[in-house]
Structure 1
Amino acid sequence: MNKGKNKTLQQKEQFTENCRYLGLKVLAEQYQQMVDKANSDNNMGYFEFIQAIIQTESAAKKQRQIEYLISGSKLPQPLKLLGDFDFDFQPNLDRRLIMDLASLQFLEKNQSILLTSTNNGVGKSHIARSLALLACQNGHKTLYTTCSDLILDLNQGVFEKTLEKRMKKYTNPELLVVDEMGNDRLELQIVKEAHLLFKVIDQRYNDNKSLIFTTNVEEADWAEFLGDPITTSAILDRIYHNSVIIRIKGESYRRFQSEQLQKEYGVQNNEGKPEQ
């Protein structure tokens, strides 16, 4: 009796070990439930049983890949969903255009996106990060960075003589998001390094790889902001070519939320005051 139990236990251990070796992680953990389900279903044949296992493993592998791509993208937490964007607050923004971009055809066509406005808080970053998340969920290698972090990183690469290695981090992904040009005053302290930004954009342009770029610096002010008119002209030329340009004209949603919060507490405070 004990020999039989030990043999069965060894078989199960060998089975799960083989499953893990083959990368069948779900089957290794849930094979008994799968067998029980097959036994309870009189209509399930051998092919249907194997097919169900393969489909379950395939779905699990796809989910692991998505989680890996999202983690590697360096997208800030919490993740931004396009469904959470308040289009009613920005009536001048073409919702149909954003939904078209959400289909990710711009990636298939090797096109880029430029989101620009003169105000902060209008939703540029939300849209950019949402599209990047969709790209990850559809199996595209993606990287998110702010403009200032990118320049600082490459500038450090020049100092450490690791520029080429660092460049690959920004040129290899299918989609690169360069967010918030103009929001960090640190950029103004390293304007002479604008050529580093050009190197990334030029390489991706030559490789026909998509870019999402957000800024609140008007086109006419780019040269002054980056401090190098010639390099700036080259950057603009590559960004604007084959890009969908979205100019958002509206108020700050963050300010709107702040005002709503003040009103909410103001009403509560007024209601809580004793009558005079």
Structure 2
Amino acid sequence: MSSKNKSYGKEQAEAFAENCRYLGLKLLAEEYQQMINRANESSLGYYDFINNIVQTEAAAKKQRRIETLIKNSRLPQPLKMLADFDFDFQPSLDRRLIMDLATLGFIERNESILFTSKANGVGKSHIARSLALLACQHDYKTYYTTCSDLINDLNAGVYEKTLAKRMRKYTSPDLLVIDEMGHDRLELQVVKEAHLLFKIIDQRYNDNKSLIFTTNVEEPDWAEFLGDPITTSAILDRIFHHSVIVRIDGPSYRMYQSEQLQKKYTSKKQEAK
């Protein structure tokens, strides 16, 4: 092939790749030659060849959207998978209920979930974050926050006159996860802004949007924790109205893991003697 033809072929390839990127066909821009080679090897017809390209691009675009939804959800790393949850360790937890919630039908029905327990480390956050991850994977806009981070963020918005803008971060997603109410008792002793939490709960309630809430604060103690009995009553009323209540009464998995770790090293010490 002459240098002139090579140059022309290179220009064509570059123009083709540029047009693909312009149309958002990123995978085709990078892998079109491999796709052509595979089509030649399998003697694909024109329709099958184009259909394969479209399906591949659609799958790649969907995966990019999922990755964006997960990133924007602010879910903590490492991500929690429901398959990694040890249901055998919490026999009081109804596994069938959790699997039903994992179908995400509660979002379509505009329902919420309240995970509650007396103890820490029983798996409330793990399941909540796993359901949030599933929501992202099924194209639901999702946002994760702890209760203290939400209240502190909105409180800053009051002083900076950016409250409306900050609120949209919590009211616009299809699913909002408010985690760990009760882990932040000392932090919230000074700033008890129940009315700010109410603003979010009330807006989502009126918009029929789903919420996942986790807490180890018993219902009678919410008013003391949030510092406003009247507002707290309104919050409870809205949370409980359309919520599936999942109570987990069991041992701490973190404590169990700690005990197993100590046993492991104790055993190694005895073997070394």
TM-score class normalised by the smaller sequence: over 0.9
User: Which residue is 1:115 aligned to?
Assistant: 115
Deviation at 1:187, TM superposition (A): 1.7
Deviation at 1:232, TM superposition (A): 0.4
CA distance in 2, matches of 1:166, 1:15: 43
SS, match of residue 177 in structure 1: strand
SS, match of residue 110 in structure 1: coil
Deviation at 1:188, TM superposition (A): 2.2
Please list the CA deviations of residues 119-156 of structure 1 after superposition, one character each: whole Å capped at 9, or x if unmatched.
00000000000000000000000000000000000000
1:24-173 alignment runs, 5 A limit: 24-42=25-43, 44-173=44-173
User: Which residue is 2:7 aligned to?
Assistant: 6
1:22 equivalent in alignment to 2:23 = yes
Deviation at 1:2, TM superposition (A): 1.6
Q: Which ranges of structure 1 fall in alignment gaps of 5 or more residues?
A: none
Q: Which amino acid aligns with 2:17?
A: T
State how many pairs are aligned. Answer: 271
1:216 equivalent in alignment to 2:223 = no
User: Which residue is 1:232 aligned to?
Assistant: 232
CA distance in 2, matches of 1:85, 1:189: 35
CA distance in 2, matches of 1:234, 1:100: 29
Q: Which amino acid aligns with 2:136?
A: C
User: Which residue is 2:243 aligned to?
Assistant: 243
Q: Which amino acid aligns with 1:169?
A: K
Deviation at 1:271, TM superposition (A): 1.5
User: Which residue is 1:201 aligned to?
Assistant: 201
Please list the CA deviations of residues 179-232 of structure 1 after superposition, one character each: whole Å capped at 9, or x if unmatched.
0001012122211x1100000000000000000000000001111111100000
User: Which residue is 2:267 aligned to?
Assistant: 267
Q: Which ranges of structure 2 fall in alignment gaps of 5 or more residues?
A: none
Q: Which amino acid aligns with 1:224?
A: E
CA distance in 2, matches of 1:224, 1:5: 77
Q: Which amino acid aligns with 2:206?
A: N
Following TM superposition, the consecutive aligned residue runs of length 4 or more in structure 1 with deviations greater than 4 angstroms are: none
TM-score of the pair, normalised by structure 1: 0.97
SS, match of residue 170 in structure 1: helix
SS, match of residue 186 in structure 1: coil
CA distance in 2, matches of 1:3, 1:84: 59
CA distance in 2, matches of 1:38, 1:119: 59
CA distance in 2, matches of 1:31, 1:226: 58
CA distance in 2, matches of 1:240, 1:81: 26
CA distance in 1, matches of 2:258, 2:156: 38
SS, match of residue 211 in structure 1: strand
Deviation at 1:3, TM superposition (A): 1.4
SS, match of residue 188 in structure 1: coil
SS, match of residue 189 in structure 2: helix
CA distance in 1, matches of 2:35, 2:126: 42
SS, match of residue 187 in structure 1: coil
CA distance in 2, matches of 1:133, 1:187: 28
CA distance in 2, matches of 1:115, 1:161: 33
TM-score of the pair, normalised by structure 2: 0.98
SS, match of residue 144 in structure 1: strand
Q: Which amino acid aligns with 1:16?
A: A
CA distance in 2, matches of 1:2, 1:250: 75
